[in-house]
Structure 1
Amino acid sequence: MNNVLDIGTATGAQCRTLGAAGIRAVGLDLSEAMIATARNCRAKNVEYVVGSAYELPFEDAAFDAALLSLSLHEHSEEERTRMLMEALRVIRSNGYLMLAEYSKPAKTLIHLPWRIIQFIENLAGPEHRAGF
């Protein structure tokens, strides 16, 4: 794997890890503030772009892989589908789509930790809930 797109990069932690491993990483986030923070943490092999996960500003098949880490759960099913279709568009046919996400547990005994996670996310404020 030579180049990876991190969709919803936030502060760019995943990109810095990939860059340190010698992989070219491009981090994309809708928030200019997050991208500015990511750029302040200079790293080799890393580039950051402000843009929407719904309309990725890259050509078809531009990446070996796309990564969405905790970027889907706050969006509607329609929005998630758009994000995933865009991710698939920009990765090569033999590339990888990597997802790290959580969902509401099916078993009732596990609901308390789920509620705690939701509470913490709500404390992050409206900007976080808006998908930044």
Structure 2
Amino acid sequence: MQEPRPEPPRQDDGSACVLEEAGDPYQWVARIYDWILDPWLRPLHRHVASLCRREGASRIIDLCCGTGAQCRRLYWAGFQPTGVDLSPAMIREARRKSPAEIALLEGDATATPFATASFDCAVISLALHEKPGPARLALLREAARLVRGRGVICVSDFLGPPPQSSRLGHMMRTSVERVAGRAHFACYRDYLALGAVPGVCAELGWSAVLEATFHRRATGVYLLLPEPSDR
């Protein structure tokens, strides 16, 4: 059954979850993003789908959905995904590649137009490490708002520096993050200094449970446990 399209995003109030570069930082890479990264990301996407199934989710919001690869994996697995991303280039690519039944919204993932508790699960894939501190926290708070009381927040992102991650995995991902640009790399270093996903969650008083690791322990999939007051 085709899901109704979401309402248009409300006007930007200046809090949009973006990097510091001017314009759309993904406008030149969106068309080749999946070609380069899909083989690397596919195991993560499959594991996220298996976690959503294990947790009994049906309606899933993918915050910072990029080219929609995770949404498509969820759709093919029988879920009802909705994707949100601020990058016009990424959303164009997601719409080009995705079935029409997947609702894809260009907008701020930290302030979506959806009602509280609209979804069973919120997914954030490889987005926290590239955001400035306030945007990381705003993204997590929005995820907690969007899922129902017993819903799930699933985050895929880099593990902390060694010994949390392997030295080889750490060196490989750091090399890639340097190429992504100065602002991107600064956010990545700050994210690691905090202790990666568990450290970011600790700023909110949340817990994070590591479910699986990938890419020579460079990357992990977490289930987050917000405090009841954050629901």
Distance 2:149 2:99 in 1: 28
1:15 partner amino acid: C
> Is the counterpart of residue 117 in structure 1 residue 173 in structure 2?
yes
Cα displacement (A) at 1:60: 0.6
Q: Percent identity?
A: 35
Cα displacement (A) at 1:22: 1.9
Distance 1:86 1:105 in 2: 27
Alignment partner for residue 73 of structure 2, among 3, 6, 17? 17
Cα displacement (A) at 1:69: 0.8
Call closer, same or farther: CA 1:42–1:106 in 2, change over 3 Å: closer
Call closer, same or farther: CA 1:27–1:126 in 2, change over 3 Å: farther
Given that residues 20 and 44 in structure 1 are in contact (C-alpha distance below 8 angstroms), is that contact kept between their aligned partners in structure 2? no
Distance 1:82 1:33 in 2: 23
Alignment partner for residue 30 of structure 1, among 86, 111, 116? 86
Name the TM-score, length of structure 1 as normaliser.
Answer: 0.84
Distance 1:2 1:127 in 2: 36
List aligned pairs for 1:1-132, cutoff 5 A: 1-43=57-99, 45-107=101-163, 110-125=166-181
Name the TM-score, length of structure 2 as normaliser.
Answer: 0.51
CA RMSD of aligned residues (A): 2.6
Given that residues 68 and 98 in structure 2 are in contact (C-alpha distance below 8 angstroms), is that contact kept between their aligned partners in structure 1? no
Structure 1: state its 5+ residue gaps.
none
Structure 2: state its 5+ residue gaps.
1-56, 188-231
Max radius of gyration: which structure? 2
Cα displacement (A) at 1:94: 1.4
2:63 partner amino acid: I
Count matched residues. Answer: 131
Distance 1:117 1:25 in 2: 28
**Which structure would you say has the larger RCO, counting Cα contacts within 8 Å and 6 or more residues apart?**
1
